[in-house]
Structure 1
Amino acid sequence: MTENNYVNRGLPDIVRRFEGTRVLVIGDCMLDEYIYGECNRISPEAPIPVVLCNEKCDFLGGAANVSANIKAVGGEPLLVGVVGDDESGERLRKALGERKISDNGLVVSHSRPTTLKTRIVAQNQQIIRLDREVFDDLSDEDLSSVKERFDGVIDSVGAVVISDYGKGVINRAVLKHIRDVIGKEDIKTVVDPKVSHFEYYKGMTVITPNHREASDVCDINIVDEITMTRAGKTLIDRVGCENVLITWGERGMVLFRNGQEDMPVFIDATARSVYDVTGAGDTVVAVLSLALANGASIVDASRIANYAGGIVVGKLGTSTVLKSELIEIIEKGS
């Protein structure tokens, strides 16, 4: 038995238990619009490419994409978030319905638009991205509705994912409410964090910054294992969460555990090819939450999430991972 196969023994069984596991996802929902075309010339009006568009596709983004990833690997997501009273919001809800994900937890706001990110792609390369969004905190009315939606489903879940893209749904008041409601219940909380909100995540089970976010928060330039370890220890101390899982691009992930900061777990990357990192963080938190909800240790849950992230970056566009794909790559040990 190889070292990888020994380490991975038992992980496929954890993934098989994902089926039907309920996870509450709360955070910023987005619609990712992809416009595909061909680029064969430069505009005579300015030094920019001219793209002949021939296809448009909608993908779920942010908390909605976390939900799609949970659904794809067999879990049952309960999504709580906000969309605008607009066409993009209708398209987002339609995309959820196509994936058999309920939109009952979505609040339709009359004071803010649905976050829409438009990517124009030609010859498998992104040419430009257009963002239509606001960053203001929710209105009092919308905030109250979000709390009500959260309270209505929390008793039935094994984990909570907080998808914080800084678009207004997640703030100090919402996170305090989450902590107050969960109380002493053994519900795992997984956070995809926003740099400006790190001080809000005290007491969470695990936060999952990428190495650039970790560098920014700690003011440490992460270039090797030594600086990575310094950053991880600093984050554990500063944030006050139980665990920090830092994603490190082609180098994999590094797990830091409160009380064991001097023993980081370095997890090698598994991706064979990287075509698109869009939504990879959503995949990581989705799979991490399902593994934790099914009793996996934080180390095993992180290893499974690492495999899932390695699969999704090999796909173009905001993508998901199937349970069969995840089990297969874990069993192969690479």
Structure 2
Amino acid sequence: MKTDRPTIEKLFRDFEGKHVLILGDVMIDAYLRGKVERISPEAPVPVVQLNKRENLLGGAANVALNIRALGAVPVLCSVIGEDQRGKEFMQLLKDDGISGEGILQSDSRITTTKFRIIGNKVQMLRVDEEMDTDLNDREAERLLDKIRELMQRLPVSVVIFQDYDKGVLTRSLIEDVIQLANSKGVPVVVDPKKKHFDAYRGVDLFKPNLKELREGLKIDIDSGDIESIRSAVSHLQ
């Protein structure tokens, strides 16, 4: 395929109006920014004097932002908690112009939030507020029903699995959604993680990074040896 300017511009135009269903773990990326001028008398740690808080969409929700930036229509599907962070997440979706109709809330889960503490423009600490257990059967069935309803009602052009190993993508849910997409002729794209690496049979595009390829295949790969990488990819295929 040629990569001249008209071809590239056409690729971007082709995104316009396409409905992209994104299924996976969503989260809030929270940033606490400030300055450091002293060390705490309580322990040998810097004291960050806070001057700015910022919440951004993270995980699969960040993928939805990127899809929207390309001109397509993101259809985001996930499960979050019935908690304060969940309210903040839904408000972030609204602020960024992304529909929350595919987001379910559960009283047995919390909304994943990653706090990054930044002092003098340097990240000093990250605190993760999350749970990584799989959805229970009832939650998974509710999410699958929602996905079926959205794919019946909307002209979904592609399904993206965005996996962060936080429990939204269970093995049975993955297999059921792949079967549903295949029955409708909708291509499936996967950004995997280790836990369900081998559950994505029958998809169209599978995009592990090098670390995920090593962990998923349980083999060592020399990143400086292209033949080693080719051999690992052939083994995966």
TM-score, L = length of structure 2 = 0.92
Task: Name the CA distance, whole Å, in 1 between partners of 2:105 and 2:129.
Answer: 17
Q: Which residue of 1 aligns with 2:26?
A: 29
Q: Which residue of 1 aligns with 2:157?
A: 158
Q: Which residue of 2 aligns with 1:7?
A: 3
CA contact (8 A) 1:26 1:63 kept: yes
Task: Name the CA distance, whole Å, in 1 between partners of 2:148 and 2:22.
Answer: 12
Secondary structure in 2 matching 1:220: coil
Q: Which amino acid aligns with 2:76?
A: L
Q: Which residue of 1 aligns with 2:231?
A: 230
1:96 aligns with 2:97: no
Task: Name the CA distance, whole Å, in 2 between partners of 1:48 and 1:227.
Answer: 44
Residue correspondence of structure 1 range 114-153 to structure 2 within 5 A: 114-153=111-150
Q: Which residue of 1 aligns with 2:220?
A: 220
Task: Name the CA distance, whole Å, in 1 between partners of 2:72 and 2:190.
Answer: 18
CA, structure 1 residues 210+19, in 2 after alignment: closer, same or farther (shift >3 Å)? same
Q: Which residue of 1 aligns with 2:72?
A: 75
Secondary structure in 2 matching 1:195: coil
Residue correspondence of structure 1 range 120-269 to structure 2 within 5 A: 120-155=117-152, 156-218=155-217, 219-224=219-224, 225-236=226-237
Aligned-residue Cα RMSD (Å) equals 1.7
Q: Which amino acid aligns with 1:150?
A: I
Shift of 1:130: 0.5
CA, structure 1 residues 73+7, in 2 after alignment: closer, same or farther (shift >3 Å)? closer
Q: Which amino acid aligns with 2:25?
A: D
CA contact (8 A) 1:220 1:231 kept: no
Task: Name the CA distance, whole Å, in 2 between partners of 1:91 and 1:150.
Answer: 23
Secondary structure in 2 matching 1:51: strand
Task: Name the CA distance, whole Å, in 1 between partners of 2:140 and 2:111.
Answer: 16
Secondary structure in 2 matching 1:169: coil
**Unmatched runs of 5 consecutive residues or more in structure 2:** none
Shift of 1:212: 1.4
CA contact (8 A) 1:222 1:231 kept: no
CA contact (8 A) 1:25 1:163 kept: yes
CA, structure 1 residues 40+234, in 2 after alignment: closer, same or farther (shift >3 Å)? farther
1:36-75 CA-to-partner distances (Å, cap 9, x unmatched) read 1112333232232221111011111111111111112211
Shift of 1:166: 1.1
Q: Which amino acid aligns with 2:235?
A: T
TM-score, L = length of structure 1 = 0.66
1:15-49 CA-to-partner distances (Å, cap 9, x unmatched) read 12211110001111111111111123332322322
CA, structure 1 residues 52+206, in 2 after alignment: closer, same or farther (shift >3 Å)? same
CA contact (8 A) 1:211 1:222 kept: no
CA contact (8 A) 1:27 1:63 kept: yes
Greater percentage in helix? 1
Shift of 1:8: 4.0
Q: Which moved more, 1:36-45 or 1:154-163?
A: 36-45
CA contact (8 A) 1:83 1:108 kept: yes
CA contact (8 A) 2:178 2:188 kept: no
Greater percentage in strand? 2
Q: Which residue of 2 aligns with 1:289?
A: none
Q: Which amino acid aligns with 2:220?
A: I
Task: Name the CA distance, whole Å, in 2 between partners of 1:226 and 1:183.
Answer: 33
